[in-house]
Structures are given as C-alpha cells and as structure tokens.
Amino acid sequence: MNAFKHPFLFLVAFLVGADEFLLGPILTPIGNDLGVVPERVTLFVTAYALPLALLAPLFGFLSDRHGRLAVLLPSTAVFALASVLTGFVSSFEWGIATRALTGVASAGMLPIAFALAADESEEAAKSIAFVMSGLTTGLMAGPGLGAYLTELWSWRAAFVALGLAALAVGAIGPAVLRNGRRPERQRRTGPGGGRLLVPGTVGSLCGMFFGLGGAVGIYSLVGERLRDGLYLDTQQVGLVYVGFGVLSVAGNALAPAAIRRIGGGRRAMRLAMALVIVCLAVVFALPDPALLAVVLALGVWAVAGGIGAPGLEAHIAGLSQTHRGVLLALSTSAANLGVALSAALAGEAYLRGSLWVAGLGFVLLSISVMALARPRGAASATENAG
C-alpha cells in the first residue's frame, strides 16, 4: 500500500462518519427553514441509514467482481453531488430524496474502504484500524462542524461544504489508488476459498449487530443520562462526548498491538463487549452514580470499543479473501441495523427508567459475547488474521 493510500481511505471514512452525525445539532434550523417540526427532520437520518444498510452487500459483491475502484470512485462522486443538492433543496420531501441518495452512495464507500485497507496490506488489523479512526474522527467532528457552519452561514453551508470535500477526495482517488482490483491469485486462494459462510461468519456478523450496533445505539442515550442523573448542562455533556471521541480514536491507534497481544480480532471484540457491559452498569444501573465513576466508565467504554470494532472488522476481512467485499459490507449493514434497532429499544426502555437501559444493554452485548465464541472448525489462520 503506497504512502498516500491510507490517508485517502481515512478521508473516505471521515466523510461517511461526518455525514452520519452532521444533523445532530442542526435539526431545528433545518426544520424552521423547510417548514417542519425538528422531530420530523430525524427522517433525514432514516432516509440515509436504510439505503446504506440494505445496499452495502450489493456494492460489496460488485467490488469483489469488478474491482474496488469501480465502486468506490463513482460512489464518492454521487456522495458529493447528493450532499451539495441537499444544501439547495426547496422542500422537506426533496431533502428526504437527496439524503436517500447520499445513503446509497455511502453504501459504496465505507465497506469498500475497509476492503481496500485489508486487500493490500500484510497487517490487515493495522490498516483497518487506521480507516476506522477516520470514521471515528468524522463521527466526533461532524456535529461540531455542522453547528459551526450553520452558526456562521446556514445549515445548507454544512452540506455544501461536505459535498465539496467529497469532490476533492474523489478527484485524487485515481492517482492514489492505481489498482483497485485484487491480484488474480487472491481470488482463488486464501482463507475461505469460494465459500461465503465459512465457520465464524454468522457469529461475527451477530457480534456486529448485537455488539457494536447495540453499544452505539445505547450510547445515544448517554447524554440524557448525564443530564438526568448528574445534572450536567449541554456544554458539559458536549465536552464528555468530545472526550469519548478522542479516547475512541486512541483505542483505534492502540488496536493493532492490542489485537496481537489478545490473540486475534474476534477475541479483542469479545473482551471489549464484556468490558462495555460493566461500563453500562456503572452509567445506567447505579441509582446515584458519582461523576468520576461515570467518566471513568465512559473512558473504558471508548477505548475498549476503539480496539474491539476494528478488531472484529479485521477478523471478518480475514474470513474469506474471495468474498471480502461482501463480508465487510454485510458487517456494515449489520452494525447500522443494530444501531437502528437498539436505539429504538433503548429509547423505549429509558422511558421506564435507566435500569431498563442497563438491562437491555446486558442482553444485547451478552448475545454478542456468546456469538463471538470460537466456532467449531474455524481455522487458526482465520483467527490470527485479525
């Protein structure tokens, strides 16, 4: 992998992450401008997330058959166009349409970036962790960038700026990624051979759905818990979120060494989910938690997730070289669908009390831990790939 490929893939993941969380602080300005209540603007999120989750496997399959560049570069161009168009919509309905188009484009960006990172590097875990840090940085920076540009100009400027950034990233793609197809010998050899569902595939995808998806979905309620349980104001909650993001990126940086020490990406994710279960208990189950205890628990949660998520991605990437694009796309779909389901369940649970959220988290993440148990017949080479 040449010197510019990693930064390019980092930027692709950053764009997807920034877009996914961009809306958080600007729902009200969008609603006021388009004539709908802010709560309805959350449909922008749904319109984006559903195509991403449903179409990612199709784009992964196409990238396995026709090469990564044939999918990634057009998708980046469509992402740029759709983001700019969102900044010029005249009605809420047109906004829904352009956000759906952005979701379609994202389905051809993030999983393909992960596949490219794993394809051409001897250290798949290190490459995937670097790309994952781009996604994490985008998730962390997106809300701040959206709020800043909205305050400075308009919410429309935030989407136009994101589209122009995507246009610039896509423009350098052909020069950076000179060869997006995997060597022919990799199509016929390597872990998994021609099989898609090798031992461990279903368990790993369940780990993504219940583990990563569950943890992120429940994390969406951390802000409310900090307000209700610790009486923090919006600025203080924002600082906690920033700190969580910084520690998540730190976890991404530590991931390659930690995965080697733990003994593989699957084991790293399993241990991470076990730690997050304890952290959830501290944050949501204690009736009167101390601020220091909650902050420490969130810190452990951030670092553990920052190590576990790229670890499981690397493990999935090593299950089959022939179908790597499809598998990583399925993992993206599983995580996004898990977030959607767990966030909805967590919202209902929180209405009954924070202890219910802790119970929900225990159930979801425990399923993930059990699903990530070593499958019978799994090759040791596959385990060590992560």
Sorted by where each starts, the structural domains of the chain and their CATH numbers stand as 5-182 (1.20.1250.20), 201-385 (1.20.1250.20)
How far apart are alpha carbons 199 and 193 in whole angstroms?
A: 12
Give the per-residue pLDDT at 124.
67
Task: Count how many Cα atoms sit within 13 Å of the Cα of residue 202 in the half-sphere of its side chain.
Answer: 4
Question: Residue 190, by phi and psi: left (phi above 0), alpha (psi -120 to 50) or beta?
Answer: left
126-168: pLDDT as tens digits? 788 888 888 888 877 777 777 778 878 888 998 999 999 999 9
How far apart are alpha carbons 333 and 111 in whole angstroms?
A: 9
Q: Which pTM does this prediction carry?
A: 0.75
Task: Report which DSSP code applies to 285.
Answer: I
How far apart are alpha carbons 97 and 233 in whole angstroms?
A: 35
Per-residue pLDDT band at 196 (split at 50, 70, 90): low
Give the per-residue pLDDT at 104.
93
Give the per-residue pLDDT at 245.
81
How far apart are alpha carbons 313 and 195 in whole angstroms?
A: 18
Residue with tokens 């199509």: 187
How far the first Cα of the chain sits from its last, in Å, is: 18
How far apart are alpha carbons 159 and 95 in whole angstroms?
A: 11
Cβ atoms within 10 A of the Cβ of 46, count? 14
Say yes or no to pLDDT of 308 above 80.
Answer: yes
Per-residue pLDDT band at 183 (split at 50, 70, 90): very low
Say yes or no to pLDDT of 88 above 70.
Answer: yes
Residue 15 structure tokens: 């764009």
The residue type of 245 is G
Say yes or no to pLDDT of 368 above 90.
Answer: yes
Task: Report the range of poorest mean pLDDT among 26-30, 84-88, 151-155, 315-319.
Answer: 26-30
Instruction: Kindly give, in sequence order, each residue whose CB lies less than 8 Å from that of residue 378, ignoring residues fewer than 6 positions away.
Output: 198, 199, 200
Averaged pLDDT score across all residues of the chain: 82
Give the per-residue pLDDT at 234.
59
Q: Which residue has the higher pLDDT, 143 or 319?
A: 319
How far apart are alpha carbons 368 and 384 in whole angstroms?
A: 20
Segment holding 166, helix H or strand E: helix 155-176
CA angle 64, 121, 73 (to 5 degrees): 45
